[in-house]
């Protein structure tokens, strides 16, 4: 039996019978059977169906947020924001079926045109940090493009996906278009990746598992998009509004208890501004309200599990340079205090590896070149920030940092309408925005001869 736990209490929320490999096969078979009819639904009608689903998600936003908060331990106010984005993502892609445009290309002897066609059955494998949000970034474009899908949520956090399955059916999506299987990654997930009838895998999770998925997908030349880890830099120049930069830095490393691939878990601070930044930053970190996720005022909850807490703790050994810590409740639940390490060298383990917890490494730098060098000295390249009042410098640095998304005088990473994804070992492909559709379609080129007497070229 799979015991789904509330990380804030350590108590069981629900027991589930985990899916088997045979269940995964059955889900793929249902998706395959539903594909011909779903792809044939007229674009305008598919738009209407997705809009109805988006409306239903809006209506169920509060109950979904409560469920997601209980299952992940994330603060209820965060969960509400996320469920808002889930609905918004479906609203956005609901407009896409009629805008899935091809091209006409000038060639001699005829007319050449391209079509974007759905892939077929796509498998979506998602992690526990933003369970339904990350699933929606994959499901909405996949469905808009005419694919059917099998969603495998993380075993730790399957409840919102199970609810989504019900909501989609009630909103009128045909049977078999959306299929949810709740089972272990190494069996059920692996099966989806290897299955001959699955055309594509969209994965979010650890770089290690992503590597394995890429290898396993090679057997059937499956399309793969990967959204993996990060070790993003929050670069603060001495000419920045230091108070503002410091006030924005806590949510950027401890939001979602630091379990965020976009976390700015390295803060690079220009040496001459170090003392001033750190004093503002300390005040901001200590003011963060850590505690009961169900409370409206809570800003940070617990980590996802006891074993994950052990992993996070391994990044803060006895001799770690702890500058200061924030609060954390006692008692049951997988709590870990916000922890600021300073000064850290960019070659230290905590500056190289993804912690996925509320631990940040503050690294001093000398000048602009030094900042860019340090920011890029990582295998990852997912997000990042630059804080400065010098516009030209902001743009120079933004262009020089090897990363998929970057914010100037802000630490935000994702918007429904803009592309999101990683450079280097942070992944392959882009989610959100119009480009996501490219990853759920295949390009077909059709040449139409306009000559009467042509034998054929
Ligand atoms: P993970 O193992 O990569 O899990 C992500 C998803 O992949 C889950 O649904 C998991 O299923 C599934 N999975 C695991 N092994 C698989 C396999 N062999 N084939 C197919 N699917 C498989 O991530 P995790 O263990 O939960 O977290 C480990 C670390 O990954 C974290 O500490 C963090 O550093 C990183 N991480 C990054 C992100 C991100 O957003 N980029 C998200 C989560 C974690 P089950 O869990 O149900 O077995
Ligand atoms: Mg794992």
Q: What is the pLDDT along the chain (457 residues), one digit of tens a residue?
A: 999 999 999 999 999 999 999 999 999 999 999 999 999 999 999 999 999 999 999 999 999 999 999 999 999 999 999 999 999 999 999 999 999 889 999 999 999 999 999 999 999 999 999 999 999 999 999 999 999 999 999 999 999 999 999 999 999 999 999 999 999 999 999 999 999 999 999 999 999 999 999 999 999 999 999 999 999 999 999 999 999 999 999 999 999 999 999 999 999 999 999 999 999 999 999 999 999 999 999 999 999 999 999 999 999 999 999 999 998 999 899 999 999 999 999 999 999 999 999 999 999 999 999 999 999 999 999 999 999 999 999 999 999 999 999 999 999 999 999 999 999 999 999 999 999 999 999 999 999 999 987 565 5
Closest CA to 386 of 252, 275, 285: 252
Residue nearest to atom 44 of ligand 1 (CA): 205
Q: Using a 6 Å cutoff on CB, does residue 83 contact ligand 1?
A: no
Residue-level pLDDT at 381: 98
Query: What are the residue boundaries of the structural domains of the chain, listed by start?
Result: 2-228+422-446, 233-408
Question: What's the rounded Cα separation, in Å, for the pair 47 and 265?
Answer: 39
Closest CA to 419 of 410, 406, 408: 406
261 in catalytic set? yes
Residue-level pLDDT at 455: 63
**Mutation test of ligand 1: which of 74, 127, 188, 413 has the most ligand atoms closer than 8 Å to its C-beta?**
127
Residue-level pLDDT at 453: 73
Question: What's the rounded Cα separation, in Å, for the pair 31 and 147?
Answer: 9
CATH architecture of the domain covering 233-408 = 3-Layer(aba) Sandwich (3.40)
Q: What is the DSSP letter of 342?
A: -
Residue nearest to atom 13 of ligand 1 (CA): 185
| Total-model pTM | 0.97
Tokens of 104: 């006409």
Catalytic pick among 261, 270, 299, 431 = 261
Q: Which fold has domain 2-228+422-446?
A: Aldehyde Dehydrogenase; Chain A, domain 1 (3.40.605)
Ligand number nearest CA of 258 is 1
Q: Using a 6 Å cutoff on CB, does residue 152 contact ligand 1?
A: yes
Residues 34 and 171: beta-carbon distance below 8 Å: no
Q: Using a 6 Å cutoff on CB, does residue 193 contact ligand 1?
A: yes
Contacts for 163 with CB less than 8 Å, ≥ 6 apart:
60, 63, 64, 67
Q: What is the DSSP letter of 187?
A: I
262 in catalytic set? no
Residues 94 and 47: beta-carbon distance below 8 Å: yes
Residues 123 and 180: beta-carbon distance below 8 Å: no
Residue nearest to atom 48 of ligand 1 (CA): 185
Catalytic pick among 227, 270, 299, 354 = 227
Residue 238, φ and ψ in degrees, nearest 5: -65, -25
Question: What's the rounded Cα separation, in Å, for the pair 306 and 74?
Answer: 15
Residue-level pLDDT at 137: 98
């Amino acid at each position: 039996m799979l015991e789904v736990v509330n990380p804030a209490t350590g108590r069981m929320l629900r027991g589930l019978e985990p899916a088997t490999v045979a269940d995964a096969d059955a889900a793929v078979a249902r998706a395959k059977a539903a594909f011909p009819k779903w792809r044939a639904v007229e674009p305008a009608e598919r738009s209407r169906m997705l809009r109805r689903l988006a409306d239903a998600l809006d209506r169920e936003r509060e109950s979904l947020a409560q469920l997601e908060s209980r299952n992940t331990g994330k603060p209820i106010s965060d969960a509400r924001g996320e469920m808002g984005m889930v609905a918004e993502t479906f609203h956005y892609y609901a407009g896409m079926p009629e805008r899935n445009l091809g091209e006409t290309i000038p060639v001699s002897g005829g007319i050449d045109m391209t079509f974007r066609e759905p892939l077929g059955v796509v498998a979506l494998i998602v992690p526990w940090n933003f369970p339904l949000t990350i699933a929606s970034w994959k499901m909405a474009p996949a469905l808009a493009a005419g694919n059917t899908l099998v969603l495998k949520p993380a075993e730790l956090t399957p409840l919102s996906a199970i609810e989504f399955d019900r909501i989609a059916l009630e909103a009128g999506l045909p049977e078999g278009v959306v299929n949810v299987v709740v089972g272990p990654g190494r069996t059920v997930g692996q099966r989806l990746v290897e299955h001959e009838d699955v055309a594509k895998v969209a994965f979010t999770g650890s770089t290690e598992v992503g590597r394995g998925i890429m290898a396993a997908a090679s057997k059937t030349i499956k399309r793969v998009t990967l959204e993996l880890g990060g070790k993003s830099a929050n670069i603060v120049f001495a000419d920045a509004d230091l108070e503002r930069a410091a006030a924005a830095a806590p949510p950027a490393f401890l939001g979602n208890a630091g379990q965020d691939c976009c976390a700015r878990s390295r803060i690079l601070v220009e040496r001459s501004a170090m003392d001033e930044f750190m004093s503002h930053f300390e005040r901001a970190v200590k003011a963060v309200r850590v505690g009961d996720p169900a409370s409206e005022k809570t800003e940070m909850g617990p980590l996802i599990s006891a074993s994950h807490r052990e992993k996070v703790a391994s990044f803060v050994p006895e001799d770690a340079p702890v500058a200061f810590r924030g609060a954390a409740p006692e008692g049951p639940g997988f709590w870990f205090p916000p922890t600021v390490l300073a000064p850290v060298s960019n070659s230290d383990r905590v500056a190289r590896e993804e912690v996925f917890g509320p631990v940040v490494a503050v690294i001093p730098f000398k000048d602009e070149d030094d900042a860019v060098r340090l920011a890029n000295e990582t295998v990852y390249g997912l997000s990042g920030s630059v804080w400065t009042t010098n516009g030209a410098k902001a743009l120079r640095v933004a262009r020089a940092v090897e990363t998929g998304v970057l914010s100037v005088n802000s630490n935000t990473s994702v918007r429904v309408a803009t592309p999101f994804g990683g450079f280097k070992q942070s992944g392959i492909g882009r989610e959100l925005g119009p480009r996501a559709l490219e990853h759920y379609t295949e390009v077909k080129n059709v040449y139409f001869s306009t000559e009467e007497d042509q034998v054929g070229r």
